[in-house]
Amino acid sequence: MVTIRLTNSKTRRKEDFVPIDPANVRMYVCGPTVYDRAHLGNARPVVVFDTLYRLLRHVYGPDHVTYVRNFTDVDDKINAEALRRQKAGAKGTLEDLIRERTEETIAWYHADMDALGARRPTVEPRATEFIAQMIAMTEGLIASGHAYAVEGHVLFRVRSYKDYGKLSGRSVDDMIAGARVEVAPFKEDPMDFVLWKPSSGEEPGWVSPWGKGRPGWHIECSAMAHELLGESFDIHGGGLDLQFPHHENEIAQSACAHPHGDFAHYWLHNEMLQVEGKKMSKSLGNFFTVRDLLDQGVPGEVIRFVLLMTHYRSPMDWTAEKARQAEATLRKIAEFLGSDPLTKPWVDLRYAKPPQEFVDALANDLNTSLALTLVSKYLKNMEEMNLVGALRLLGFYTDALTETFAPFRFHAGDNGVASGHRMATLGLDARTGDLLAKWGNSLFEKRQRAMQTKDFAAADALKSALIAIGIEVRMSKAGVELVPGPDFDPAKLEALQ
Ligand code: AMP
Ligand code: ZN
């Protein structure tokens, strides 16, 4: 069996991955807070951990991996958004509006992440479905002296957990000096963080031993991970921005609530994404969502490819140039996969498997950039079985690739027969197909005539006109091939005289 090696944030070392139970490998990844569209940075952990999920399924078997990624649907940002809508005149109670907002956001999230080729996790729990477990865990922490209730709040007593700060390598005193903590008069210690907080009249709340209130963010993940994966599980993932305080707090809560378990064995963090060398931010005007890119016509496969070009532990830069490169490579792959030699009867792509060197590249701490280099090698060497096997493991569906990227081709051969395919998926209508056939046949005839008369002027003029409207023109002894390129403009084809 392949040995997967992963860089464990907990030990800061690359380690052999040894699952607790190879028959059920368990992974928890912190999911989105569902109040708005996912931005491009949010897509990074989705694609990184989807790649790991696929690798685990490949190595341990598809039925032997449990992947949990939550939806945080209790959060002040969601409440604020619902309140804003209510003030803007939206109908319904605040609770209805919150529900509406989270449902809508979850549907968007699914659609956007599906477009990136990310498999849905095995379980996608919503925080609101696990409030009882959060309350129970909080009660347990109070009973064991790790938490205290005060003024409707419950706070975790950070100094009661001696290993606090180990994951991020900070001491409690450094953290206080860093002053990233909220000071409140009722806290015993400024480091203590909220497990439960009171809800005012208009805020969503649940009945609890401490009055009507709602859970803090950190306890949500601890309770859901425990309920769905147990006291000890294999991998916990998320973006590096979550390492402190979110993950540190998850560990403290879980370790103290379940002293016989040891929570997650391997902690994985993806580095952050920036755009054209700058942090993504609304004020810099370089903030965009996955949906914005999809709407601009950037295919999900291109986004996935660019995200995989950089190793997950390195900061990455989204650039238009990288998207262009990724698109060009995917186009070449699709052209190759869509070309005729692949219909050889002895090549059955259902049996395509990723080559060992390819699996080894991914198993080495998810070396996705090496994996993509290998993909290019298989393409160059025309090793279609290796290429298809590798692409599938990386989460590229080859049928979808040929649909999205393979060009519509018009052939006019020596018998003058026209053939075309994939018109609809390229957004080309039948009228455009007819026009392409008309001009392809015309070019073919002009060229045949020119061969006899040695006057190529008419054929060359038509060829230039077609190129000018974004059509690639390939001429060979066998005939003429017209391939509309990315800049093809059907309206200009219509106007061609
Ligand atoms: P949030 O909804 O903000 O909690 O984020 C959801 C996930 O996206 C978390 O795993 C974050 O760490 C991750 N994330 C947010 N911004 C970025 C970014 N710019 N680059 C990479 N990951 C990010
Ligand atoms: Zn979490």
**What is the residue-wise DSSP string for 318-333?**
E-HHHHHHHHHHHHHH
Sheet of strand 263-270: strand arrangement: 65-69, 25-29, 232-239, 263-270
Pairing of strands 263-270, 232-239: parallel
Q: Both 287 and 190 in a single domain?
A: no
Closest-CA residue, ligand 1 atom 17, reads 41
Cβ 406 vs Cβ 335: under 8 Å: yes
Most confident range (mean pLDDT) of 92-96, 266-270, 338-342, 445-449 is: 266-270
Choose among 129, 78, 80, 139: nearest CA to 105.
Answer: 78
Cβ 244 vs Cβ 170: under 8 Å: yes
Cβ 147 vs Cβ 92: under 8 Å: no
Distances 12 to 8, 48, 261, 267 between C-alpha atoms, Å = 6, 19, 21, 9
The rounded distance, in Å, linking the Cα atoms of 425 and 408 is 9
The rounded distance, in Å, linking the Cα atoms of 403 and 423 is 9
Choose among 480, 430, 433: nearest CA to 460.
Answer: 480
pLDDT score for 172: 75
Give the residue-averaged pLDDT of 286-314.
95
Choose among 28, 174, 214, 45: nearest CA to 116.
Answer: 45
Q: Which amino acid is at 23?
A: A
Cβ 445 vs Cβ 472: under 8 Å: no
Q: Both 163 and 57 in a single domain?
A: yes
Spatial CB neighbours of 467, under 8 Å, sequence gap ≥ 6: 473
pLDDT score for 478: 65
DSSP conformation letters of 455-471: --HHHHHHHHHHHHTTE
Domain's final residue, options 387, 405, 423: 405
Choose among 105, 109, 129, 130: nearest CA to 120.
Answer: 109
Please tell me the number of the ligand nearest to residue 264's CA.
2
Give the residue-averaged pLDDT of 450-455.
90
Candidate of 29, 33, 35, 42 to mutate for ligand 1, largest count of ligand atoms within 8 Å of Cβ: 42
61 C-alpha to ligand 1 centroid (Å): 29
Q: Which amino acid is at 274?
A: Q
CATH number at residue 32: 3.40.50.620
Please tell me the number of the ligand nearest to residue 271's CA.
1
Domain's final residue, options 388, 405, 422: 405
Please tell me the number of the ligand nearest to residue 314's CA.
1
77 C-alpha to ligand 2 centroid (Å): 16
Q: What percent of the chain has pLDDT over 70?
A: 92
Q: Both 302 and 181 in a single domain?
A: no
Q: Both 333 and 207 in a single domain?
A: no
Sign of CA dihedral 483, 486, 488, 490: positive
Q: Both 212 and 97 in a single domain?
A: yes
* pLDDT exceeds cutoff 80 at 419: no
* pLDDT exceeds cutoff 70 at 426: no
Q: Which amino acid is at 96?
A: D
Q: How many CB atoms lie under 10 A from the CB of residue 473?
A: 17
Domain's final residue, options 229, 255, 270: 270
Which ligand 1 atom sits closest to the C-alpha of 31? 6
Give the residue-averaged pLDDT of 76-102.
89
357 C-alpha to ligand 2 centroid (Å): 34
In the block, tokens 């940075």 appear at 41
Q: How many CB atoms lie under 10 A from the CB of residue 162?
A: 10
Closest-CA residue, ligand 1 atom 4, reads 32
124 C-alpha to ligand 2 centroid (Å): 13
| Diameter over CA atoms, the chain | 99
Task: Identify the three-state secondary structure at position 146.
Answer: coil
Q: Both 384 and 416 in a single domain?
A: no
Cβ 232 vs Cβ 263: under 8 Å: yes
pLDDT score for 50: 98
Q: How many CB atoms lie under 10 A from the CB of residue 315?
A: 11
pLDDT tens per residue, range 430-451: 788 788 888 888 888 898 889 8
Confidence of residue 119 (pLDDT cuts 50, 70, 90): very high
pLDDT tens per residue, range 249-288: 999 999 999 999 999 999 999 999 999 998 888 778 888 9
58 C-alpha to ligand 2 centroid (Å): 26
Q: Both 78 and 168 in a single domain?
A: yes
Q: Both 224 and 340 in a single domain?
A: no
Q: Both 329 and 429 in a single domain?
A: no
Q: Both 305 and 346 in a single domain?
A: yes
Ligand 1 lined by 154 (C-beta under 6 Å):
no
pLDDT higher at 84 or 481 = 84
pLDDT score for 428: 66
Ligand 1 lined by 435 (C-beta under 6 Å):
no
Structure tokens that stand for 140 in this block = 């347990």
Q: Both 90 and 218 in a single domain?
A: yes
* pLDDT exceeds cutoff 50 at 420: no
Q: Which domain holds residue 414?
A: 410-495
246 C-alpha to ligand 1 centroid (Å): 12
pLDDT score for 414: 44
* Predicted structure pTM score: 0.85
State the average pLDDT for the chain: 90
Which ligand 1 atom sits closest to the C-alpha of 239? 12
444 C-alpha to ligand 2 centroid (Å): 63
49 C-alpha to ligand 2 centroid (Å): 14
- What's the structural domain count of the chain? 3
Closest-CA residue, ligand 1 atom 21, reads 272
Closest-CA residue, ligand 1 atom 11, reads 239
46 C-alpha to ligand 1 centroid (Å): 9
Closest-CA residue, ligand 1 atom 5, reads 32
Candidate of 36, 44, 246, 249 to mutate for ligand 1, largest count of ligand atoms within 8 Å of Cβ: 44
Ligand 1 lined by 239 (C-beta under 6 Å):
yes
Cβ 472 vs Cβ 483: under 8 Å: yes
* pLDDT exceeds cutoff 90 at 185: no
Q: Both 256 and 353 in a single domain?
A: no
- Cα-based torsion angle of the residue sequence 73, 131, 100, 92 in order, rounded to the nearest 10 degrees: -130
Q: How many CB atoms lie under 10 A from the CB of residue 288?
A: 18
Candidate of 241, 278, 312 to mutate for ligand 1, largest count of ligand atoms within 8 Å of Cβ: 241
Confidence of residue 406 (pLDDT cuts 50, 70, 90): low
Which ligand 1 atom sits closest to the C-alpha of 240? 12
CATH number at residue 387: 1.10.730
